[in-house]
Structure 1
Amino acid sequence: MKVYIVCDLEGVAGVVDFKKQCMEDGAYYQQAIRVATHELNALVEGLIEGGATEVYAWPGHGDFPGGIDFELLHPECKLVMHAGDGGPAGIDENFDAMVLHGLHGMAGAPSGVLSHSFYPMPRNIWFDDVLIGEIAMNIYSFCEHNVPCIMVTGDQAAVDEATRLIHNIEGVAVKWGLSEKEKLGALTVRQAISLSPAKARERIREAAQRALQRVSEFKPLKLKKPFTLRVEYIEPKYVEEKANLPGVTRLDEFTITKQCHGLEDVIL
């Protein structure tokens, strides 16, 4: 079986400070991506134990290195590199399943440790009247190729968000948000309780094996088309940048809308 992993950094165990751990010039960024890579390796190992014959991972935390330490990568994992911020690359119908690793809740998610949606510009994103974040966008990207999402790891807000879309998804929460600490634009930072990296890896490996053994239970979500995209930005200047693009209508100083026939029409 062939599996594709979408990776992010904000949902990894112990990652709770955006500036110090998630920015490339942060004091603890290198430590954070090492922890993320070991966590990814545990996921890969569990997938192999569950029957995977090929595993690909896309490091989606910005452009290269994307939140992964390449030198520490599991020897059986192939890395989709230099794909930038445009979303997962190399997806096709030959994949049997996809997994979300290290994800976070959408902007405004209650108890989200580092909740946001495509930082830094958007505050909220809707498909028709349904509020979505990065989790839904990634799931729909793969469902366009008939590839189901079978598992998610991240904070509890991310697991809850994915479960609302896929009720039987295998979910591993590695941390839980407490009270709000600060806001960085539309990104909310919360105090948190986290599993140790070792315990997170143990739970992720076990869940990955279970998820792939249950792969026949999962079906790709169907995105209703056409749909109305609505994006609320954190500053009016972003509306100014988008307002003259084809098909875009300005609703107010913070919000644009657009009729979309598929994900290829979405702008953020």
Structure 2
Amino acid sequence: MKIFISADIEGTAGIAHWDEAERTHADYQEFRELMTAEVVAACEGARAAGATEIMVKDAHDSGRNLRLDRLPAYARVMRGWSGHPDSMMFGLSPDFTACLYTGYHAKAGSEANPLAHTSTLRISRLLLNGAVVSEFTMNALCAARYRVPSVFLSGDAEICADAQALVPGIATVATLEGFGRAALSISPARAREAIRDGVEAALSAAPSERIPGLEGPFEVVVEFANPTDAWRVSWYPGAELRKDRSVAFKAAEFFEIQRALRFLTA
């Protein structure tokens, strides 16, 4: 059994401020450790369920956050950014059994996490076929392109609810809930225990059923916080500049949406 883990930090248990997610701040080192510990817990749960190979995509900011000396010997790690449109899912292929997501967070425009965003803080909202979507939405649909199920997610309460709506039956662990600039979190120790147990259970329960539908056509709309960003990226081939700082792009295939976002959100 071959497992893929996409690891972020803004949904890590205990996090409440951007200083804790940015490598230039002293607080980051603690949360780098906590992010790594949640990934290790997911690896342990997967191993207990029979995983023989695990690939971890370090998917936050620089892509160079995880403490490599803490990862188990049976895991491989994809660090940095290749520039491929799969982005936070780069390294995934059809021969993986399932995808797991740790440290995930609410979408841009949400108040459910003080660190809520989608891909970049320059975006106020991202819409796919008229619905406001998260990084998880795009990543789970990326996994669906490869026919790999998404079976487990840990992160804030809202992203857990969104994941359950998109992928019925996905196992989740809610690590925190946002209140303005505050966050109420479970303890990191409790989160690690729940992640370990949740992953093991999820991988033992017919994971192949957890693949969301991926029928086109697709329209993505990127709403920017600043109109000059919308003007700049509207020159991407096929992009359409709209009112309210928005740029739209249409495609029949989901990969073309991913390719466009690689440049529209850069």
In the alignment, is the contact (CA less than 8 A) between 1:34 and 1:72 conserved in 2?
A: no
Name the counterpart of 1:214.
Answer: 205
Name the counterpart of 2:66.
Answer: 68
Name the counterpart of 2:157.
Answer: 156
Name the counterpart of 1:140.
Answer: 141
1:252 and 2:243 correspond: yes
**Partner letter of residue 186 of structure 2?**
L
Structure 1, residues 142-192: CA drift from partner, whole Å, max 9, x if none?
Answer: 1100001001001111101101101211000111222x12xxxxxxxxx11
Q: Does 55-64 or 219-228 show the bigger shift?
A: 219-228
Q: 1:77 aligns with which of 75, 79, 89?
A: 75
| 1:112 CA displacement | 2.6
**Partner letter of residue 62 of structure 2?**
D
| 1:94 CA displacement | 0.2
In the alignment, is the contact (CA less than 8 A) between 1:21 and 1:29 conserved in 2?
A: yes
| 1:196 CA displacement | 1.4
**Partner letter of residue 13 of structure 2?**
A
Q: Find the aligned partners of 2:6 and 2:138 in 1 and give their Cα distance.
A: 11
Q: Find the aligned partners of 1:92 and 1:154 in 2 and give their Cα distance.
A: 24
Structure 1, residues 42-67: CA drift from partner, whole Å, max 9, x if none?
Answer: 110011101111111101002241x3
Q: Find the aligned partners of 1:107 and 1:196 in 2 and give their Cα distance.
A: 25
Structure 1, residues 14-62: CA drift from partner, whole Å, max 9, x if none?
Answer: 11111x1111101211111111111110110011101111111101002
| 1:217 CA displacement | 5.7
Structure 1, residues 87-138: CA drift from partner, whole Å, max 9, x if none?
Answer: 3212111001001111001012242342111122211111111211101011
In the alignment, is the contact (CA less than 8 A) between 2:118 and 2:134 conserved in 1?
A: yes
Q: Find the aligned partners of 1:261 and 1:98 in 2 and give their Cα distance.
A: 25
Q: Find the aligned partners of 1:124 and 1:223 in 2 and give their Cα distance.
A: 21
Name the counterpart of 1:186.
Answer: none
1:264 and 2:255 correspond: yes
| 1:253 CA displacement | 5.0
Q: Find the aligned partners of 1:194 and 1:213 in 2 and give their Cα distance.
A: 28
**Partner letter of residue 107 of structure 1?**
A
1:48 and 2:47 correspond: yes
In the alignment, is the contact (CA less than 8 A) between 2:55 and 2:76 conserved in 1?
A: yes
Q: Find the aligned partners of 1:246 and 1:160 in 2 and give their Cα distance.
A: 35
**Partner letter of residue 236 of structure 1?**
P
Name the counterpart of 1:4.
Answer: 4
Q: Find the aligned partners of 1:12 and 1:51 in 2 and give their Cα distance.
A: 25
1:16 and 2:7 correspond: no
Q: Find the aligned partners of 2:167 and 2:40 in 1 and give their Cα distance.
A: 24
In the alignment, is the contact (CA less than 8 A) between 1:63 and 1:84 conserved in 2?
A: no
Gaps of 5+ in 2: none
Higher strand share: 1
In the alignment, is the contact (CA less than 8 A) between 1:50 and 1:213 conserved in 2?
A: yes
Q: Find the aligned partners of 2:92 and 2:208 in 1 and give their Cα distance.
A: 21
**Partner letter of residue 14 of structure 1?**
G
**Partner letter of residue 68 of structure 2?**
F
| 1:84 CA displacement | 5.1
Question: What CA RMSD, in Å, does the superposition of the two structures yield over aligned residues?
Answer: 1.5
Q: Find the aligned partners of 1:135 and 1:89 in 2 and give their Cα distance.
A: 14
Q: Does 202-211 or 251-260 show the bigger shift?
A: 251-260
Cα gap change, 1:243 to 1:216, in 2 (>3 Å): closer
1:226 and 2:217 correspond: yes
Structure 1, residues 73-94: CA drift from partner, whole Å, max 9, x if none?
Answer: 2222110122357332121110
